[in-house]
Amino acid sequence: MVKSETKIRVRYSETDRMGYVYYGNYAGYYEVGRVETLRKLGFSYKEIEEKGILLPVIDFSVQYKKPAFYDDEITIVTTMKELPGLRMSFYSECYNQQNELLNSGKVTLVVIDKTSNKPCLPPDWLMNAMKPFFS
């Protein structure tokens, strides 16, 4: 299992008329968590794409519990619970500065070969880097 924590400060432009973080912004927050989780594994999205692998989102779900507000510091906890196959799943939770759960969700990516534009298994270089985190 791989777990990472990333902090984000809510910007004014991310809030709606009620002063809450607009619900659609959580997709971007989850992306920040995914990018940092992959970085913890030793890769950036940019490097993965340069090596011929694309990782488009094929499923996104979120369950909202409480709102976040302008200038709140949000902690995004992102977890990969299993080694990827054709799909790679990330589980996310967002907490406010009082450590209250704001929402939780899951994002599933599909591994795509950039040349053929078809789903593929993760290449050996990616799997070999991930395996030590899942033993």
pLDDT, tens digit (0-9, with 9 covering 90-100), for 20-71: 999 999 999 999 999 999 999 888 999 999 999 999 999 999 999 999 999 9
pLDDT at residue 23, rounded to an integer: 94
pLDDT at residue 106, rounded to an integer: 98
- CA-to-CA distance for 62 and 91, rounded, in angstroms? 10
Work out the average pLDDT over 96-125.
97
Active-site residue (options: 16, 72, 113, 124): 16
Residue 101: which domain range?
2-134
Mean pLDDT score across all residues of the chain: 95
Work out the average pLDDT over 77-82.
96
Q: What strands lie across the sheet with 112-113, from one edge to the other?
A: 53-54, 112-113, 118-119
For the question of residue 16 being annotated catalytic, the response is: yes
Count of the separate structural domains present in the chain? 1
Residue position matching structure tokens 């950039």: 114
What's the angle, vertex CA 81, arms to CA 77 and CA 86, rounded to 5?
115
Q: Residue 26 is part of a domain; what is its CATH number?
A: 3.10.129.10
Amino acid at 49: E
